[in-house]
Amino acid sequence: MFDCTIIGCGITGAAAAYLLSHYDLKLLVLEASNDVANGSTKANSAILHAGFDPEPGSLMARANVRGVEMAAEICRRLDVPRLNCGALVLAFSPDDLHTIRELYARGLANAVPGLRLLSAVEARQLEPYLADTVTGALLAPSSSIVDPWEYALAMTETAVKNGLVLALGRGVREIKLPDAAAGKDYFELTDSQGQRHQSRYVINAAGVHSDQVHAMIGGHNFRIHPVRGQYFLLDKNAGHTCRHTLFQCPTAAGKGVLVSPTVHGNLIIGPDAEAVADPDNTATTAEALEYVRRMALRSLNNIPFGENIRNFAGVRAQSDRPDFIVEASPQSPRFINLAGIKSPGLSAAPAIAEMALDLLAQAGLALKRRADYDDSRRRIRFRYLTPAQQSELIAADPRYGHVVCRCETITEGEIVAALHGPVPPRSLDAVKRHCNAGSGRCQGSFCGPRIHEIIARELGLPYDAVTQNEDGSYIVTEPTKGNSDKGVTV
Amino acid sequence: MKAVKQLRDCYDVLIIGGGPAGLAAARAAWNDGARQVLIIERDSVPGGILNQCIHNGFGLHYFHEELTGPEYAGRCLDELADTGVELLLNTMVLSLDELPQEPGREALGGLLPEPVQESLSPDLLTGRPPHRVFAASPELGSVCIKSRAVILAMGCRERSRGAIQIPGTRPAGVLTAGAAQRYVNLEGWQIGRRVVILGSGDIGLIMARRLTLEGARVLACVELMPYSSGLLRNLVQCLDDFGIPLLLSHTVTDIRGRRRLTGVTVSQVDENRQPVSGSEQDFDCDALLLSVGLLPENELTRAAHIPLDPRTRGAYVYENMETASAGVFACGNVAHVHDLVDYVSEESQRAGQAAAAYARGQGISGRAIPIQHGSGILYTVPQSIHIKAAGDGQADRDAAYNLFFRVTRPQQQVRIALYDGDRCLKRWTKPSVAPGEMERLKLPQTLLKDCGSGSLTLTLEHPAVKEATANA
């Protein structure tokens, strides 16, 4: 019997798991994917927004400002890459100048620190390559960038280290409401592998699938209308094209196309906003990428698109309501929906989780702080160590002297550490998210086969059982004619 | 050749990369008298990419017989057997020192950035501080290795899907031809049953044959350009002989499949390489191999602020393969992508010899002048050469510069001309040229000794080219 089950381990579920794990509770996370942060959390702009955008007084505004304040502390404590690079909202027309003045006023109302309206000359002093058509800008110095999947992973790992049960590859198939008449004071959840779990409380953080999960208990008071956004990710050679996150003025469709450095030193460009029927449709299209490219070139005219290393698309869990949905289900006060978490969901996540804790407490969950909580996490990042530190590390474990991913300088030691960590990655893409191996300019074409072998060896998997990403994304089909190993781990 | 037990205080020649370029450079440096020569190789065996190129066709020019890739690597190693060249395996070079600007090197891509503060004292032989190379290995830890001369021989890498921005889903089964080659030839695993190959570069063609022999069905080889960038012999032996269609002026415009690839769309492209609407054809396939070009692996070079030629994507080099940073040489595919490994070996010998001379304090001399590209020339290597003054002891009557170049498109019956300002120094004729095949010229030093304009221009002279220039 679990006290609380969290459905979905994206950034919202991970934040809820992390905050709840501070209390004396038996916790379960059910995640449909074979890794955490494998949905919207891995495919977004990776911005911790300052908070000038949401309507003052909205849940979104409060959660955004509170969330990024919490994020700064969580990232520091759990060793998550975060960089306070600041942001500019660019104006290109008198209408835009009007909009940035409105954003400035909104930001003040939302208590965003340090906002300033800049002339075109002042903006160009900060960003020399701005397009000539820029006529002014709003500067938001508190805007930051973060590694979104490591942020979610760090919170999940810490929760797991403190006893939370993480069940990967297990979506929810069926949920039965508590039935007091039958003496069942708990939800009964059946996962995608047919296993049943009993839980007194449930948090629905299923992202683009949260309406489907809510429907399992007969809840129909919101619907998700997935919106796809496409991106370019440029090589580190292009990472210095701009120093701030460069927004254009927001429209009804969203925050518009941005250009931003990433915490890893790359340049990210996107997204567009396109309604899609299938919440799992993360395909890219030539038309949308062309639109993103054209829009981005309005901000900066020297973007070296020839340095592109990857295109991707993410689907935002936009709902039929304008604000975030953070509330108990009408079907049961013990079933908390955290839904419609579109942008700025990454920024707001810990604040949303905090609100969820309040709702659980109101519904009767006893929250008793644990005295023995281990609220720490450290990851070895070989490339950022001094030569003396590197030598010391290699002397203790020679696998740290074996650089496997040459683009990102990731060692075998780091990959092995991830594979034996609290949340082991099981695929090449998961290894990439957990320790950056394969995320560089060659996109794993050099190190992929080598990491494949390390995964098989460390996890004791047959060579052909290692996948690219989700289960079923197998990489090799069968042994070649001369291979006598026939499916046996190398 | 021997394994490294303990690092020396300072090497004569340090070579980054133990593939064909590094091995040939090491042999030449040793032959030329360098006695403290170190090769740093990241893999557990030397030979580089040759180890996975199990097909034949290597060595016809350099060893005068046909060899497989591993055999070619073996020959390169045999040549080092009786030398004292040291080999450091499982070692990754992390960075090179940035060195101060050398006066007079403006010919190679302009000025270097502001020099870093140099703390090392000058070496007695070269008169300059030694270079420092930072590397990591399981045995040695993270170390700084000093050397009078450094040779960059890191080779190249493949362009991946992002570089050509193919839209669609991102399933397993889309991989570069080189990664597929490693899986099939070294790991012993097949990567698909029904395969489409994008790009008709040599690796793609070789893999078309290799996968067919392993029992897969290669449905098509798709090439964006109206001509193949692969060697003619590979087109015949790897596609024609197996009945694999080559779709010229086509490209992949969609990728399908959520977990594993289920199919691709192939479209015809117009003269601007844009997909033609209505020309789409779907292929049901479970693997898409990308053979869409190679990029010299110059991240170390770039980080050390050594100027790179945007055309070759390698460092600007002189005729002795020295870069704008004195005592740093580049050879093989890190300098420019070669078509044949034989030419890599030949070019790397020159680099090895020059590095050994540099380490003895015998730098290059003469007046450096750049070689400009005229019509139809994509790039030249070297980008700049030293003209020996008449009566200079080095200006040997028989000596010649080796000039590699590539053309921008295939042409028949061309004349290649070298100009000194407006004056044509020499013309050569070729029955045909193609971008996929590297062209070579020998420029006798005597031809250039009176060169007066300060710049040479290599150009193609062909009616079609003149017409195109006039239109432009």
**Per-residue pLDDT tens digits for A408-449:** 999 999 999 999 999 999 999 999 999 999 999 999 999 999
| Average pLDDT of the segment spanning A167-182 | 96
Q: What integer best gives the mean pLDDT of chain A?
A: 96
pLDDT for A306: 93
> Where is average pLDDT lowest: A154-168, A449-463, B63-77, B440-454?
B440-454
Chain A touched by B102 (CB under 8 Å): no
Distance CA A370, CA A122 (A): 50
All residues of chain A having their beta carbon less than 8 Å from the beta carbon of residue B139 are 398, 401
Using pLDDT thresholds of 50, 70 and 90, give the confidence band for residue B4.
Answer: confident
Select the residue of B92, B171, B187 nearest A403 (Cβ to Cβ): B92
Residue B191 sits at the chain A interface (C-beta within 8 Å): yes
> What 3-state class would DSSP assign to A44?
coil
Which CATH fold would you assign to the domain A1-82+145-224+317-378? FAD/NAD(P)-binding domain (3.50.50)
Numbered ranges of CATH 3.50.50.60 in chain B: 2-157+295-359, 160-292
Quote ipTM for the complex: 0.94
> From the candidates B160, B184, B290, B333, which should be mutated to test the interface with A, based on the most A CB atoms within 10 A?
B160
Nearest-neighbour CA in chain A from B305: distance (Å): 12
SS3 annotation, A225-263:
CCEEEEEEEECHHHCCCCCCEEEECCECCECCCEEEECC
Does residue B134 sit at the A interface (CB-CB below 8 Å)?
yes
Share of chain B above pLDDT 90, in %: 77
pTM across the whole model: 0.93
Q: Check residue A485 and give its pLDDT.
A: 58
pLDDT of residue B230: 86
Mean pLDDT calculated for residue range A175-179: 97
So what's the pLDDT on residue B342?
Answer: 97
Residue A387 Cα, gap to closest chain B Cα (Å): 5
Q: How far is CA B337 from CA A114, B158, B227, in A?
A: 51, 11, 19
pLDDT band at residue B389 using 50, 70 and 90 as cut-offs: low
Distance CA B441, CA A87 (A): 54
Q: Model confidence at B397, in pLDDT bands (50, 70, 90)?
A: low
pLDDT in tens, B182-232: 999 999 999 999 999 999 989 999 999 999 999 999 999 999 999 998 888
pLDDT at res. B465:
47
Number of inter-chain CB pairs under 8 A, A vs B: 159
Around Cβ A296, how many Cβ atoms within 10 Å? 22
Per-residue pLDDT tens digits for A220-277: 999 999 999 999 999 999 999 999 999 999 887 777 899 999 999 999 999 999 999 9
Answer yes or no: do A309 and B162 touch at CB < 8 A: yes
* Amino acid (one-letter) located at B55: H
Residue A115, pLDDT score: 98
Cα B175 from Cα B177, distance rounded (Å):
6
Q: To the nearest whole angstrom, how far is the Cα of B327 from the nearest Cα of chain A?
A: 24
- In one letter, which amino acid is B425? L
In tens, the pLDDT along B222-245 reads 999 999 988 888 999 999 999 999
Q: Evaluate if residue A173 carries a pLDDT over 50.
A: yes
Rounded percentage of chain A residues whose pLDDT exceeds 70: 99
What pLDDT sits at residue B126? 77
List pLDDT tens digits, range B312-364.
999 999 999 999 999 999 999 999 999 999 999 999 999 999 999 999 999 88
The single-letter code of the amino acid at B435 is P
Give yes or no for a contact between B282 and B263, defined as CB atoms under 8 angstroms apart: yes
User: Cα angle at A16 between A14 and A21, to 5 degrees?
Assistant: 95
CA distance A151 to B301: 33
Q: How far is CA A229 from CA A311, A321, A340, in A?
A: 11, 19, 16
Q: How confident is residue B108, by pLDDT bands cut at 50, 70 and 90?
A: very low
Residue A286 structure tokens: 């030539």
Closest CA to B223 of B207, B199, B241: B199
Cβ of residue B178 closer than 8 Å to a chain A Cβ: yes
Q: Which residues of A touch B134 (CB under 8 A)?
A: 387
The DSSP bridge pattern shows strands B328-330 and B141-152 to be: parallel
Question: Which tokens in the block code for residue A140?
Answer: 């938001």
Range(s) of chain A covered by CATH 3.30.9.10: 87-141+225-316
Report residue A48: phi and psi, to 5°: -95, 100
Domain with CATH 3.50.50.60 in chain A: 1-82+145-224+317-378
Q: Is the pLDDT confidence value at A22 over 90?
A: yes
- Comparing CB atoms, the residue among B160, B169, B214 nearest residue A442 is B160
Angle at A63 between CA A328 and CA A356, to 5 degrees: 30
pLDDT at B455: 85
State residue B99's pLDDT score: 56
So what's the pLDDT on residue A227?
97
CATH architecture of B367-471: Sandwich (2.60)
> Nearest CA of chain A to the CA of B141: how many Å?
4
Which class is domain A87-141+225-316? Answer: alpha beta
Residue A456, helix vs strand vs coil: helix
The rounded distance, in Å, linking the Cα atoms of B162 and B172 is: 15
Task: Sort out which chain B residues have CB atoms less than 8 A from A478's CB and list them.
Answer: 189-190
Res B107: pLDDT: 43
What residues of chain A lie within 8 A of the CB of B299, using their CB? 407, 441
How much is the pLDDT for B399? 83
pLDDT of residue B111: 40
Could you please state the CATH topology (level 3) that the domain comprising B2-157+295-359 is classified under. FAD/NAD(P)-binding domain (3.50.50)
Q: How confident is the model at residue B127 (pLDDT cuts 50, 70, 90)?
A: confident
Contacts of B275 in chain A (CB under 8 A): 286
| pLDDT at residue A293 is higher than 70 | yes
Measured between beta carbons, the chain B residues lying within 8 angstroms of A401 are 90, 136-142
Whether the per-residue pLDDT at B156 is higher than 80: the answer is: yes
Specify the CATH number of the domain B160-292.
Answer: 3.50.50.60
Q: Which of B143, B176, B191 sits opposite A445 (nearest CB)?
A: B176
Positions of A marked active-site? 49
pLDDT average, residue stretch A451-474: 97
| Cross-chain Cβ contact B189/A476 below 8 Å | yes
Tell me the chain B residues in contact with residue A406 when contact means C-beta distances shorter than 8 Å: 42, 92
DSSP-assigned letter for residue A23: B
pLDDT class of B387 with cuts at 50, 70, 90: confident
Using alpha carbons only, give the angle A392, A397, A402 rounded to the nearest 5 degrees. Answer: 95
Mean pLDDT of the region A475-486? 82
Burial of residue A265, with CB atoms counted within 10 A of its CB: 0-12 exposed, 13-18 middle, 19 or more buried: middle
Tokens 């139809």: give the residue. B376
Tokens of B310: 């945007």
Quick check: B167 and A283 CB within 8 A?
Answer: yes
Nearest C-alpha of chain B: how many angstroms from A397?
8
Q: Looking at the partner chain, which of A402, A409, A445 has a beta carbon nearest the beta carbon of B90?
A: A402
Average pLDDT, chain B: 90
Whether residue B260 and residue A401 make contact (CB cut-off 8 A), yes or no, is no
Cα distances from A251 to residues A49, A52, A95, A255, in angstroms, run 16, 14, 12, 6
- The C-alpha of B287 sits at a distance from chain A's nearest C-alpha, in angstroms, of 9
Could you write out the DSSP letters of every residue in A166-186? EEET--EEEEEPPBGGGTB-S
The C-alpha angle A68, A71, A74, rounded to 5 degrees, equals 165
Of A390, A406, A443, the CB nearest to B142: A390
